[in-house]
Structure 1
Amino acid sequence: MIKNKQSRNLINYLMVFFLLISGPVLAAAPAAGTVIKNQATATYKDSSGIEQTTTSNLVETLIQQVGAFALEQSQSRYGIADQVTSFPHILTNTGNGDDSFTLGASDNTGDTFDFDSINIYPDANQDGVADSNTPITTTGVLAAGESFYFVVSAKVPLTALDGNTGEFDVTGTSEFDPTLQTIINTDEVIVSDKAVITVTKSISANSGEAGTGPYTVTLTYGNQSTSDATDVTLIDELPVGMTYVDGSAEWSLTGSAVVLTDANPGDAQGVGTDTVVYCAYDTSCTNIEDQVTAVIAQVISGDSGTISFQVELDSDIDAQTLLNTGEFSYNNGSVVIADQETNTVPLEVISTPGVVANGSDTINTEGAEEPVNQATGTLGSTVAFDNIIWNRGNSTDTFDISVDEVASTFPAGTTFTLYQSDGFTPLLDTDNSSVADTGPLGAGEFYNVVLKAKLPMTGSSVGDNSGLGFDVTKTATSTTDPSITSSVTDHLVEITGSGVDITNVAAIGGAGVKGEGIGPETTAQTQLVFAPGESGVFQLYINNISDVADSFDLSYSKDDPFAKGSLPAGWGVSFHVDAGATDCSVLGPVVSNTSIIAPNTSKLICAQVSVAAGTAFDGNAVSIYFKAESPLTGVSDIKHDAVYLTADHRLILEPDHHAQVEPGGTQTYVHNLHNPGNTTFTDITLAATDTLSAEGWTTKLYEDTDGDGVLSSADQPVGTYTLAPGETQIIFAKVFAPSSAPLGATNLTGITASGSTDAGGSTPVVVTVSAQDMTYVAKSNMTIAKRQGPDANCDGAVDSGFSFSFDTFQAGPNTCVLYQLTATNQSAGLAVNVRIDDSIPEFTTHFTNGGTLPVITVGTITTQPPEGDTGMVAGNAGNVIAGDAVSLTFGVRVE
């Protein structure tokens, strides 16, 4: 390299640049055939508010080849008439693919002479001297970035005179792309009849690894003129990365026995006039301490020699080609010829791959900040590890990244995905090796590869793996030398389960919230109060207290320990979504699972509790437990609430009756004393009064002792009764009309029942109910009785084992019930215009059994609704003689 050179001859370039821009960084043009891959990601929140990531398809762009090259350099040298002057040149393929280049040399016009010959020769060893006498016209194939060294030799004609100049052009043309502009160097020869010195430079090797040496640099000088030259000065400033070896210089005239001193520029070494003053990289070399300087006292005509010294490559130098050009000057016997250059000598610093994978972006040594730790990961969540891949080599390298899933101690079901440093874009295979990689990294650079571990949802994975945690190893492998690898371990200390907490009133942290924390609680957190036959709604907030989305199955129990689905008899529970009012005032569809709840959010569930009418009152709140359990992880919480049933103290005495009686006759009425509430009545007494008692009317009350629904001799007078919830006592009221009773006389019999019950207060509650029977005197006396029978298969006949009776029985949905109405003439005379009427009861529809029902034993059916409808059923029996009866039978279907 030339020291203190103020200007250089122009180097002509033709270069086509590709600019790949990533932020502010500019990267080198990719090689032809390189596939640029790109994959996008989209991050969004789904309808449940859960963040999701999806990747696009992979798109690829194939880089085409573009030709470009550089040719250097134009020069001016001194020459001698009838001798050859040589010019070293370098052609470098700066395109992105292989190319061959055509070389040419042609004499210029407008100068003072034409050359006898101009030939191009290869200089494969880059010593500035032609390798052979065979001219060439092409470089052969050069890879991208490869240089071709050659020498152009031009013979000066014998007739050339001192001071004459001759020029010729050296050209290079791309064979891949002939449309590229031809690059031209122009070389000039200045003819001199004085001393002419030539200097070439060489090095003992063309390549070496960083930190190696020594390598011998040789400067060869010669004087082919007929005159002597004096003060021949050789200068060499070494490039950065190359270090001079102290005490290594030799001069060919003194031989290896004499080591030239690096210091004291005034110290001449040699014999007589053959001396050299040598100074190299020493502080004593005033103004020239950073170079090699050798001043040879004289070089006589026809003489030649060498100055050599050794260099070493610095250990921290990046892979590159170091270029070194020497400079020389001399006195030609008349003037000083200055600023002459040698050929350029390359020394390639060989690539030495190296890699370190660790957890530090400031320290590039093995084990730094390893293992890469994450404290916890929730089941189903994604845990990210930042791994730093350092290029410890001295050249650009790409590192394949592999994950050892086989040796991983993460739980089965864990999936691993590699991402670029942004943590979102998938890590791609940039060099088509079928393995994801870092992309090109310059020497000393690092890249953050993000490994994401998607943990399974299974609850069996929870814990710290017996204190060992969970490990996975990631390995970076040099693509320059696959034997160069480095591994880093990613460590997860513990996997935690998902979490759920059921609260009342509000979500966790809300105003008035009840039941925070893991249950079940010792005491009920919320208590509803309602009566049997009614329902109430608990507002349950299902809080997902983990960092991963989850859903939770819903269940209930009356017991602790929890017994799924257990409830007191007559109770029911159903879970509903809130229908939009956010207070469960309007219930949505029934659910058994919450559906997905986003991390650290909650969902309102409405738990409706219903209690059947008649459920017994005991004055105590009934506990009910609600459970939310993840079907994936098994994590759960139980909430303790309660229901207090109010007292429903009711007695019913029914129905009211009206009938006829003959003077001196009797009429019997059937009444039901029923407890439809949820409290027990005790000390129930009954009494009857008649409005015509003064005229001799009397009423006696009997119980249905034998339970057949018909007053008989077995039935005893009424006494004192206790009725539990749902129980009924049949009472007969037998009315006696005096023989003196006139036709048309009407007696009203009032029947009362009175009993006491405990309704949860400090004193019992007394309830009195009544019914009324109206009896009038007539010559005829018709009675009507209604009996029923089950018809489960709806075939129009009472089921086997049953008969029409007054008994109560159970009937399921979509089964049938048959009713039989019997009217009896209990008088001694004829009953005329006898009509029987009834209606289809609630929760049933008319059943006709294909048209065979309804039916009447005497007379005709006058009114009936269609099959499946509701309404009146009536029959006209006409006249019924004394003691006869007529029956009407119809059917209904239970909804």
Structure 2
Amino acid sequence: MKHSFQLSKLAASLAVIGGVSLFSSQTMAAVPLAGTNISNVATATYTDNTGTERVVTSNEVKTLVAQIGSFTLEANRSAQTTPNGQVSLSHILTNTGNGTDKFKIELDSAYAGTFSFDMTKVAVYLDRNKDGIADSNVALQSTDLIELASGESVGLVIVATTPSTATKDQLDQIKITATATQTALYSTVSKENDDTVTITTGAVMQITKAASVSVTQAGKEIEYTLTFKNTGNATATNVAIFDVLPASVEFVKDSARYSGSSNGLTDLSTDGDNFEYNDTKKAFLFNIREVKANTTGTLKFKVKVKANTPASDIKNTAYVDPDGKLVDPTDPTGPREPIKIGDLPPNPNTPPIPEDPSNPTTVPSNPSIVTVEGTYSGSVNDALNDGFKDGETSTNGDDLITVAGQQGVPVLFGDAASEPVVVHNRGNATDTYNLTIDKTAFDAYGVLPAGSIVEILKADGRTPVTDTNGDGIVDTGPIEAGKNAQFVVRMTLPTGEVIAASGVGVKLVSTSVKNAEVDTLKLVISALTANSVDLTSKTPEDTTDPVKGEGVGVPTSVVDKTTPPATPAIFDITINNTGNIPDNYVITLPNVPDGWTVEVFEKDSSGNCTTTKVTNSGNIKATESKSFCLVVTPPAGTPADTAHDIKVEIKSPATGTKDDITFNVKVEEQRQLTFTPDRQGQVAPGGTIVYSHVLTNTGNILEGDKTTYPLEIDWSSTLAGVNTSIYVDINNNDITDAGELVTGTTALERNASLAALLAKTNGAGLSQNEAVNILVKVEAPATATAGESDTTIVTFKPTGSNNKPADVLITDRTVINLGQVRLTKSQAVSACGTAPTTYVTTNLTAKPGECVYYKIDAINDGNVNASDVVISDTVPSYTTIYQGSVKPNPGASESGGKVSYTVSTLTPAATATLEFAVKVDQ
């Protein structure tokens, strides 16, 4: 009977949380993950017939890394048990492929053994932490599959019960098979392990070790309980229980107790109780004449952690031997006798124990781990060399730091200008101290104003302290015994805040994370000095009133200016720090009209506006001032006579001091067109080229309609025989469509055609800020020769006498060129060493280990030679060059991931080809 299992998505998630392993990225670095994109573009350089070096690029080709399947199942196991006994067998399933897959698990008898398992009494369980013990008694069901991502692993534990009819020395095997579900990805879709179980009818001893505490301190005692039992079917004789103690503990004299007895076992070897402790070996041995089948016993003993033991783990394992040792080691069938203390090795952690190759039955307990804590004591105060605590006296500090601050400026405690803030470790082990702020009132001091921020910083006064131990509270980080660490406390009061005459303060609280011991340091702000500011505007042209806006700001304008659309009006604004400390001010513009640009710029030392835009004044010393340029720009097309008040506000983020000033800007009428850009290109004799330009009305009135301000068009070309056509790209598709051509044999007809076409763009003419694409098509005469050029000038001329703007024009230069190289790249996927016969430019898929073959063709589409032709390419990421694949050979070469082929001269219609292959990493 077979069992199949599948782990659901939910169960898989739980398995990952509980301990399903994931390999590190380095483990899988050699194989790119499925779906990784390998893309590449080739380049070529050549010199055309004019002597000009040119560069062309190929199309991009892409290769996606395909998924490959690979997994492991480990390992074969062996165990002994009695008839009708239970045995556990552990395995690890790991997905070593480059993508996610699901796996089916099957159990079956491996071969016809001397007994046969009843497969209904064989089940498999998840072992999330892979400790060889099933996580629960809920077996995997036949409806479950195990889904593992690349690099993930999970433990499996088989629990089997042997038949009651099995006899001594009989054995059988259980086969566990894992099969991948995406079979096409694998060369071998199944892996299996064979577990061998042998029947014994003798004694089977087991032992566990438990400590009375999981955490202790130096100088304290630990009591261990060794529980041993015989799960076999026969009495065990000459049973020995022993333990070699670690160096960090001392055995407590006469502390051993056997199976709950109140009478102690003495440490002497001559007292007849079969228990002895040897100080030299740091080991004890307890011999028991016999342990009957299905019986259990305990042995308790105590150890004391040495006083100088640092914070660390005490790890120890005890052992049980079920049958003593041979009286005559040369006679394996001879009588046996109890083990003696001298038989124990110095380190019993490597079987066989005792050192007797004929005695492999010694059984270890589980490792017992007890964590030793140090003694912990800490303090926080204002003294570097004295770790005194609250309530203790000191000549080096008074546990109080008092600082007089300035309004709007953070108040610092512990920096170079004040007394230090120091946390001391007074214990004998490394400790970490949580740092918190107690804002409740103390002594005669008031509390901080609402909204105050208190920050604890490292000694540099900039870096905030963080939570290093994960308890959600910022802390000092580990401080070694006898050492200290300095900190800075920064208090930021709300903007413009004042404090009571008595001062305000907080307590910095230091709490050991080991024993919750608390100490405090008082931090007091005794006073705050206020600040002030005045925002004005300098108008030196007004000799009677050269400074406007002095004093408290008013809502009416202090300076008025007029400007055309899109032309800036510039005002001076000067910030005067009338306070008594340095300050900075945020500059805001609260009422900027929609579409208008209002900006503030720095001034240079000569008072000229710079291009450095600011939103903050920067630091201004007390009693000093700093001037800026306020630049107000109405948007292009703003109607004439539009007027707006522009308000400027400043406010200190530190002190809260503020002021404002208001200016007025009125807009003039403006007419303006732009026509851009100039372009240039190449064309063969008889060929055509189309240039795209943009005509834009940047004024504030309609241009190009038939009645008010019509536009005139004119163009000229310099090359004899050239044919030039002008198109208005009505549908904005950059194509010279029918119905978009400017027609007419006279200037009057062409202007009328232009007006009709512009009326189809977005209503009559070009409205304010409207733009239209103008396409210029140049057709070279068939008789043109290489090197000749044409210059076409297209001009738009506004009309009317009212603020008539200047004509706008573009220049297109076209060069006749006979040589032209075109580059095409194609690819194919094949087994490495087997060159493909068909190449494509479309996307392909390649597996790790396969080769991608590239072919780059350089074709001379011109009618003259192209010289100095070099075709270049690079080896893509996730691949390596496949040696021997670079062609032509000789001629082409690869070095350092770069592939090149120097063709030299490429004649008209000729093709030069570079070929090479890369192997996808595996």
TM-score, length-scaled by structure 1: 0.33
Higher relative contact order (CA 8 A, sep 6+): 2
Give 1 or 2 for the bigger CA radius of gyration: 1
Q: Between Structure 1 and Structure 2, which shows a larger proportion of strand residues?
A: 1
